[in-house]
């Protein structure tokens, strides 16, 4: 039985009671720490969401200006031999499985490039022969010919493998711990390599040591007590920020929505709790990008853009490929709640006084392989 590593342990803050005065103090803390976060996540703080939102917006403006970074995901393959209880693409679930050939990938990249994206997340399932590291390296190299920031959200791998991906042009990794609760983690991951709870926690370390520049982390909200997971996530982020101080760290908020006939989360997180979590992390990690995907409904995304959230996906597809007109059919990983196209979404942002930003300017000088071609 795995146990939570000591350095992640959110005790003694986890079940403390906080008063309204504690929460007020936390909202305006000059040097926020774990205690601040615990206060802001508490039930008491739930009565102060408006104040937290004001502070979150103010901090977001200071560190990110009035801009929202945009990116899009591209599923390279939905083959998976894993057994995650909460995922419709687990090995024992029926799904249309496919993987992009290099030619198909180029068609997808043509389409994505036309949409003006400069940041892409390439996704696969667990490590399978159809989608292993050599395949990923080929895909990264192709994608990097088209756009500046190619990142991956795939299975955890060895430091040497991350280095191969970095050499191919990959700039970052996203990997969600799903839950930091080792008991729940074991229950949720029924078989296979993903049962390696500790190996997954250390994956961002390996990635950053292996030469990748950014690491995105997160917890799948709903699996376990969200206060526990977010306090652990904060510790995880602080560890990465301190140790890999030249790297970028970002946090995402994937949330399981209970669906009829689908997986029922034990600790469903409603919108108010989601908002509270985002405001609390913005206050406690003022400079860390906070990311919200199209998994959330329009109303929620519109409300949180610029109020804690600094980065969002738009016009996403969670089927394999899906951007080019000749994509094959396949099963999507999760249902997209916000399917607005880019112009509509950007108009919403501008109406809120936010500028959509596609390009990350510092990538222009990187020595990525594709820039060194004659």
Partner 1 sequence: MKNDLLKIGDQELGSRLFLGTGKFSSTAAMIEAVKASGTELVTVALRRFNRAQAEDDLYGPLSELKTVRLMPNTSGAMNAKEAIRAALLGRELSKSPFVKLEIHPNPHHLLPDPIETYEAAIELVKQDFLVLPYIPADPVLAKRLEDIGCAAVMPLGAAIGTGKGLATAEMIKIIVRDADIPVVVDAGLRAPSEAAAALEMGCSAVLVNSAIAAAEQPAAMGAAFKAGVEAGRAAYLAGLMPTSETAVASSPLTSFLSGSD
Q: Are 272 and 49 in contact (CB under 8 A)?
A: yes
Pick the binder of partner 1 from 1, 92, 245, 374 (CB under 8 A).
245
Residues 246-265: x where in contact with partner 1 by CB under 8 A, - otherwise, as a string:
-----------x--------
Rounded to whole angstroms, how far apart are CA atoms 151 and 293? 15
- Per-residue string for binding with partner 1, 297-336, x by CB under 8 A? --xx-xx---x-----------------------------
> Judged by CB under 8 A, does residue 271 bind partner 1?
yes
Closer to partner 1 by CB, 99 or 283: give it.
Answer: 283
CA distance 244 to 206: 11
Q: Minimum CB separation from partner 1 for residue 190, in Å?
A: 27
User: Under the criterion CB under 8 A, does residue 28 sit at the interface with partner 1?
Assistant: yes
When asked if residue 348 is in the footprint of partner 1 (CB under 8 A), the reply is: no
Stretch that binds partner 1, among 25-33, 124-132, 223-231, 339-347 (CB under 8 A): 25-33
Residue from 9, 14, 25, 145 touching partner 1 (CB under 8 A): that is 25
CB nearer to partner 1: pick between 172 and 306: 306
The smaller minimum CB distance to partner 1, of residues 102 and 259, is found at 259
Q: Cβ closer to partner 1: 119 or 302?
A: 302
| Dihedral sign from CA coordinates of 238, 188, 330, 298 | negative
Contact between 30 and partner 1 per CB under 8 A? yes
3-class secondary structure for the chain?
CCCCCHHHCCCCCCCCCCCHHHHHHHHCCCCCCHHHHHHHHCCHHHHHHHHHHHHHHHHHHHHHCCEEEEEEEEECECCCCCCECCCCCCCCCCCCCCECCHHHHHHHHHHHHHCCCCEEEEECCCCECCECHHHHHHHHHHHHHHCCEEEEECCCCCHHHHHHHHHHCEEEEECCCECCCHHHHHHHECCCHHHCHHHHHCHHHHHHHCCCCEEEEEECECCCCHHHHHHHHHHHHHHHHHHCCCCEEEEECCECCCCCCCCCCCCCCCHHHHHHHHHHHHHHCCCCCEEECCCCCHHHHHHHECCCECEEECCCCCCECCCCCCCCCCCCCCCCCCCCCHHHHHHHHHHCCCEEECCCHHHHHCCCHHHHCC
Residue from 51, 193, 247, 369 in contact with partner 1 (CB under 8 A): 51
Taking the least distance from each CB to partner 1, the nearer of 166 and 284 is 284
Query: Which range, of 50-58, 94-102, 133-141, 209-217, touches partner 1 by CB under 8 A?
Result: 50-58
Q: Which residues 225-244 are close enough to bind partner 1 by CB under 8 A?
A: 241-242
Count of residues in contact with partner 1, rule CB under 8 A: 28
- From candidates 31, 260, 351, 374, binder to partner 1 by CB under 8 A: 31
Q: Identify the bridge partners of residue 217 per DSSP, sorted by sequence position.
A: 251
Which residue's CB is nearer to partner 1, number 30 or number 372? 30
CA distance 368 to 371: 6
Binding status of residue 338 toward partner 1 by CB under 8 A = no
| Residue 212: CB minimum distance to partner 1, A | 18
Cβ closest to partner 1, residue 138 vs residue 266: 266
Q: Is 17 in the site for partner 1 (CB under 8 A)?
A: no
Nearer to partner 1, 14 or 51 (CB): 51
Residues of this chain that interact with partner 1 (CB under 8 A) are 25, 28-31, 49-51, 53-55, 57-58, 241-242, 245, 257, 268-272, 275, 299-300, 302-303, 307
């Amino acid at each position: 039985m795995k146990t939570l590593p000591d350095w992640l342990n959110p005790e003694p803050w986890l079940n403390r009671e906080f008063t309204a005065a504690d929460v007020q103090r936390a909202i305006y803390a000059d040097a926020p720490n774990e205690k601040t976060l615990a206060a802001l996540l508490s039930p008491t703080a739930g009565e102060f969401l408006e104040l937290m939102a004001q502070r979150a917006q103010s901090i977001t403006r200071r560190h990110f200006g009035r801009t929202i970074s945009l990116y899009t995901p591209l599923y390279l393959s939905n083959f998976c031999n894993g057994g995650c209880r909460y995922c419709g693409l687990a090995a024992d679930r029926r799904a249309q499985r496919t993987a992009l050939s290099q030619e198909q990938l180029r068609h997808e990249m043509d389409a994505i490039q036309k949409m003006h994206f400069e940041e892409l997340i390439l996704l696969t399932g667990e490590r399978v022969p159809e989608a292993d590291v050599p395949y990923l390296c080929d895909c990264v190299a192709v994608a990097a010919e088209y756009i500046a920031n190619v990142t991956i959200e795939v299975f955890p791998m060895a430091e040497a493998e991350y280095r191969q991906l970095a050499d191919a042009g990959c700039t970052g990794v996203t990997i969600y711990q799903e839950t930091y609760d080792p008991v729940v983690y074991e229950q949720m991951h029924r078989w296979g390599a993903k049962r390696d709870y500790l190996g997954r926690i250390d994956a961002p370390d390996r990635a950053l040591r292996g030469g990748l520049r950014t690491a995105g982390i997160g917890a799948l909200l709903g699996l376990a007590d969200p206060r526990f997971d977010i306090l652990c996530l904060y510790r995880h982020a602080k560890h990465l920020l301190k140790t890999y101080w030249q790297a970028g760290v970002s946090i995402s908020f994937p949330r399981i929505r209970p669906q009829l006939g689908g997986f029922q989360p034990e600790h469903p997180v409603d919108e108010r709790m989601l908002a509270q979590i985002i405001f609390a992390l913005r206050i406690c990690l003022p400079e860390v990008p906070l990311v919200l995907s199209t998994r959330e409904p329009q109303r929620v995304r519109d409300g949180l853009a610029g109020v804690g959230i600094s980065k969002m996906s738009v016009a996403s597809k969670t089927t394999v490929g899906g951007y080019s007109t000749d994509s094959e059919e396949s099963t999507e990983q999760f249902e997209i709640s916000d399917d607005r196209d880019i112009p509509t979404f950007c108009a919403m942002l501008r109406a809120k006084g936010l500028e959509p930003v596609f390009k990350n300017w510092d990538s222009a000088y990187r020595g990525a392989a594709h820039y060194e071609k004659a």
